[in-house]
Structure 1
Amino acid sequence: MSDEEAGRARDFIGYGRNPPDPRWPGGAHVVCNFVINYEEGGEASVPDGDPNSENALTEGSTAPVKGRDLAAESMFAYGSRAGFWRLHRIFTARGMPCTVFAVARALQRNPEACAAMREAGWDVAAHGLRWEMHNAFDKATERERIAQATAVITRCIGERPAGWYTRYAPSLNTRRLLIEAGYEYDSDAYDDELPYWVKCAGRDALVVPYSLVHNDVRFPRMGMSSGSEYFEYMRDAIECVLREDPPRMLSFGLHNRIIAHPGRAMGLARLLDWIGNHPRVAVMRRVDIARHWRKEHPAP
């Protein structure tokens, strides 16, 4: 299979100097999509049969531990026990929608959180069967993982996921397999600030790009230290587009075990309040962005 067949040809041009007008609802100039990555309980762990505990995106991730890492396990558990509920309160108190990138096994372990997602009307996109990268999977294994993740999330949420996001590294087969599985879009790209279409195995695939730049991973990885820093950095991203650019979509990634700690969460709360008072900025669910794009800018 060639890169083109898998929808993975490298494109360094994109929309160029004349991007399409998204025609966002309500005439918004910037549409923001907030994504809660729900991963806690789907990561590698010794009790689940893995040789080592996962410690990525935890406060102690610079301390290598062989075998079972009880500290890392506890930090993941904070995300589902306390962090998720803080984010749930922050968004629902303001009536703002968000998207969940959900690891299927993580949802299975917290039915109450699944109920809260349903009640809030959040869209739940698939983030894998487990919190794992797909780049090393053979085609048959990956097809089975996608099918299992889809089935589990459908049971937990009561609705089939429309979108997919792989943990960082998809395989050359991922996009094709997602089309075969009936997904409306994937977010396995970081190369634009507007959705776009690609050809994949002779079919049209919609890509709704994601971002690791406007993401709370900057706390553990890049030294962001306070909620005020978070607020200023993300606000500046929106203001840059408002002042300098044509209409855009900006993705803001969140994690229950990172941004939801109190000193950081206040920065998110301030950002949502600032957005709520800005007439040219809107917040949309990712599935609504994808369907809006499909309607306003159908595949060529």
Structure 2
Amino acid sequence: MFDTAHPYPRDLVGYGANPPDPAWPGGARIAVSLVLNYEEGGEYSVLHGDAHSESALTDMDRPAALPGERNPNVEQNFEYGSRVGIWSVMRLLQERGVDATVYAVGMALERNPAVAAAFREWGVEVACHGQRWIDYQFVPEAVERADMARCIDTITRLVGRRPVGWYTGRPSLNTRRLAVEAGGFLYDSDAYNDDLPYWLRVSGRPHLVLPYSFDNNDSRMNRSQGLETGEDFLRYCRDAFDWLYRSGLEGRPRMMSIGLHARIVGRPGRIGALERLIDHMQAHEGVWIASREAIARHWLERFPAPEPRG
């Protein structure tokens, strides 16, 4: 039996069989959000006061998290992203004239001001990706709140504009509430449960969620999840785009998020696949490639925050 005194905290229903028509600008059949994650320099490291080295999302075969030790190979995998990959991906996106969103880790920006300056000159949306690229699941609430404030301040100071989007990636159960309490955010993206934005009430306030994607994500080339090469990544994302585009043609427009990482897709053997994917999408009519901020602002205009129920 269900415990009616303690409502189930998950929504397994969503929009159901009748999702809303987003009416994307210009009658677009699909809204595409390209997200460039900038994390290099904010990962686990004893240099950063952590108890162990990083062990996730490198081209090494699942390196161990070394307790109390640095892992030079892991560190240099990350350094490729900040030294080379970030510039390659930015150049490609600018050449193709596509809008995007950067999920920026505060510490990573602090350690490479040249990248922050490039984001500022580009005019790209820079959203918060946490002060550290770590798992916040068991981080004390006070520490997470302080890290959140520092990340907001870092991006505001280095990029020149206060971030309006939040995405931790490995959040705690407190993260969304802390983001709402911090104020100033249009949306957060710590969600993977829909192809359309949706509203929640958090701490009594309406809050917009723009779901993100772990499946249309180059990280799968480092997670041993069936995508080994750039061509695998291209094929999977192209299939997802084609399906969602057809859905839009049939009167059910959706949103597609594509996750990118400078140290992963920025490698020479993979970036050509991203180039071909963008070319494939741009060859279609009615494709709106937009920042997450632009998508959030459109949703706010089309579907204003709901009034609280009486």
TM-score (norm 2): 0.91
Across the aligned residues of Structure 1 and Structure 2, the Cα RMSD in angstroms comes to 1.4
Q: 1:65 to 1:202 in 2, by over 3 A?
A: closer
1:18 aligns with 2:18: yes
Q: Which amino acid aligns with 1:283?
A: I
Aligned to 1:238: 241
Q: Deviations over 1:141-164 (max 9, x none)?
A: 222111111111111111111011
Q: Deviations over 1:177-214 (max 9, x none)?
A: 11111122110111001000001111101101111011
- Matches of 1:26 and 1:162, distance apart in 2: 24
Q: Which amino acid aligns with 1:276?
A: Q
Given that 1:55 and 1:61 are in contact with CA atoms closer than 8 Å, whether structure 2 keeps it comes out as: no
1:34 aligns with 2:34: yes
- Matches of 2:206 and 2:270, distance apart in 1: 40
Q: CA deviation at 1:61?
A: 4.3
Please give the residue correspondences for 1:6-155 in structure 2 after superposition, counting only pairs within 5 Å. 9-64=9-64, 66=66, 67-155=69-157
- Matches of 2:51 and 2:302, distance apart in 1: 48
- Matches of 1:192 and 1:124, distance apart in 2: 23
- Matches of 1:267 and 1:81, distance apart in 2: 21
Larger mean Cα displacement after TM superposition, 254-263 or 242-251: 242-251
Given that 1:97 and 1:121 are in contact with CA atoms closer than 8 Å, whether structure 2 keeps it comes out as: no
- Matches of 2:284 and 2:85, distance apart in 1: 27
- Matches of 2:62 and 2:187, distance apart in 1: 35
- Matches of 2:178 and 2:55, distance apart in 1: 29
- Matches of 1:292 and 1:233, distance apart in 2: 28
Structure 1 runs (4+) greater than 6 angstroms displaced:
none
Q: Which amino acid aligns with 1:17?
A: A
Q: Which residues of structure 1 form unaligned runs of 5+?
A: 1-7
- Matches of 1:115 and 1:145, distance apart in 2: 22
1:158 aligns with 2:174: no
Aligned to 2:179: 178
Given that 2:22 and 2:253 are in contact with CA atoms closer than 8 Å, whether structure 1 keeps it comes out as: yes
Aligned to 1:224: 227
Q: Deviations over 1:193-251 (max 9, x none)?
A: 10000011111011011110110011011142222222221111011112246100010
Match of 2:210 among 203, 208, 211: 208
Given that 1:104 and 1:149 are in contact with CA atoms closer than 8 Å, whether structure 2 keeps it comes out as: yes
Aligned to 2:265: 259
Q: CA deviation at 1:137?
A: 2.5
Aligned to 2:280: 274
Counterpart secondary structure, 2:218: coil
Given that 1:129 and 1:149 are in contact with CA atoms closer than 8 Å, whether structure 2 keeps it comes out as: yes
Q: Which residues of structure 2 form unaligned runs of 5+?
A: 1-7
Q: 1:25 to 1:271 in 2, by over 3 A?
A: same
- Matches of 1:145 and 1:225, distance apart in 2: 34
- Matches of 1:61 and 1:68, distance apart in 2: 17
Counterpart secondary structure, 1:217: helix
Counterpart secondary structure, 2:237: helix
Q: CA deviation at 1:139?
A: 2.5
Q: CA deviation at 1:48?
A: 2.2
Q: CA deviation at 1:65?
A: 5.5
Given that 1:31 and 1:282 are in contact with CA atoms closer than 8 Å, whether structure 2 keeps it comes out as: yes
- Matches of 2:30 and 2:119, distance apart in 1: 25
Q: Which amino acid aligns with 1:209?
A: P
Aligned to 1:3: none
- Matches of 1:12 and 1:64, distance apart in 2: 36
TM-score (norm 1): 0.94
Counterpart secondary structure, 2:208: strand
